[in-house]
A and B are shown apart, each in its own frame.
Chain A
Amino acid sequence: MAEPRIMDIKDQPGFRSIAIICLLVLYVPVLILMIFSLNSGSLVTHWEGVTLNWYGSAFLNEEFHAAAKNTLIISVTATIVSTICATLAAIGMTRVKPWRGLAAAFMVINLPLMVPEIITAVATLSFFALIAGAFGLNFGIGNLILAHTVFCIPFAYMPIRARLEDMDLTLEYAAADLYATPWNAFRRITLPLLVPGIMSGGALAFIVSFDDFTITQLVAGPGQTTLPLYIWNQIRRPMTPEINAISTILLMVSILFVSVSFLIARRRAK
Chain B
Amino acid sequence: MPEQPGKNAIEVRGVRKVFGTGENQVAALDTVSVSIRENEFFTLLGPSGCGKTTLLRLIAGFDFPTAGEILLHGQDIAPLPPFKRPVNTVFQSYALFPHMTVAQNIGFGLEMLGKPKAEIEGRVAQMLKLVKMEALKARRTSQISGGQQQRVALARALAPQPKVLLLDEPLSALDYKLRKEMQIELKRLQHETGITFIFVTHDQEEALTMSDRIAVMSAGKILQVGTPRDIYDRPAERFVADFIGETNFLPGTVVSKRAGVATVKFASNATISAGFPEGFDPTGEVTLVVRPEHADLVPDPAKGTIAGTLANIVYFGTDTHYHVKLDGGGENFIVRHQNSRSSPVTYATGVKVGIQFEEDAARVLKD
Indicate whether A174 sits within 8 Å of B89 (C-beta atoms), given known contacts A180-B83, A193-B98. Answer: yes
A-B contacts, 30 listed (Cβ < 8 Å): A168-B93, A170-B93, A171-B98, A173-B62, A173-B82, A174-B95, A174-B96, A174-B97, A175-B97, A176-B82, A177-B60, A177-B61, A177-B62, A177-B83, A177-B88, A177-B89, A178-B108, A178-B109, A178-B112, A178-B156, A178-B157, A178-B160, A179-B113, A180-B108, A181-B112, A188-B108, A189-B97, A192-B99, A193-B98, A193-B99
B87, B89, B96 — most chain A CB neighbours (10 Å): B89
Closest Cβ neighbor of B114 among chain A residues: A179
Binary per-residue interface labels of chain B (336-347) against chain A in the complex, 1 for a CB within 8 Å, 0 otherwise: 000000000000
Q: In chain A, what residue has the closest Cβ to B107? A: A178
Which residues in B have their C-beta under 8 angstroms from that of A270? 142
CB neighbours of A184 from chain B (8 A) = 112
A174 touches B112 (CB 8 A): no
Contact among B61, B83, B91 with A170 in the assembled complex (CB-CB below 8 Å): B91
The number of chain A residues with a CB under 8 A from chain B is: 19
Interface of A is mostly: helix
Which residues of chain A have C-beta atoms less than 8 A from B96's C-beta?
Answer: 174
The answer to whether B93 and A176 have CB atoms under 8 Å apart is: no
- A172, closest chain B residue (CB): B95
CB-CB under 8 A from B82, the residues of chain A are 173, 176-177
Inter-chain residue pair count (beta carbon < 8 A): 62
The CA-CA distance from A181 to B88 in the complex, in Å, is 15
- Give every chain A residue within 8 A of B113 (Cβ-Cβ): 179
Q: Does B81 contact A (CB under 8 A)?
A: yes
**Measured between alpha carbons, how far is A37 from B134 in the docked complex, in Å?**
60
Given contacts A170-B95, A173-B91, A177-B62, 10 further A-B contacts (CB under 8 A): A173-B89, A176-B81, A177-B82, A178-B109, A178-B156, A178-B157, A179-B83, A179-B84, A180-B108, A270-B142
Most B-side CB within 10 Å, residue of A175, A176, A181, A270 = A176
For the complex, give the distance between the alpha carbons of A177 and B97 in Å.
13
Query: Could you say which residues of chain A place their CB within 8 Å of the CB of B109?
Result: 178-179
Bound: A173/B156 CA distance, A: 14
Q: What chain A residues lie within 8 Å of B99 (beta carbons)?
A: 192-193
Give the complex CA separation of A111 and B308 in angstroms.
75
Across the interface, name the chain B residue whose C-beta is closest to A174: B95
A189 surroundings in chain B (CB, below 8 A): 97
Cβ 8 A contact of A179, one of B62, B98, B112 = B112
Chain B contacts with A in 99-121, Cβ cutoff 8 A: 99, 108-109, 112-113
Query: Closest 6 CB pairs between A and B?
Result: A178-B109, A174-B95, A179-B112, A170-B95, A176-B82, A180-B112
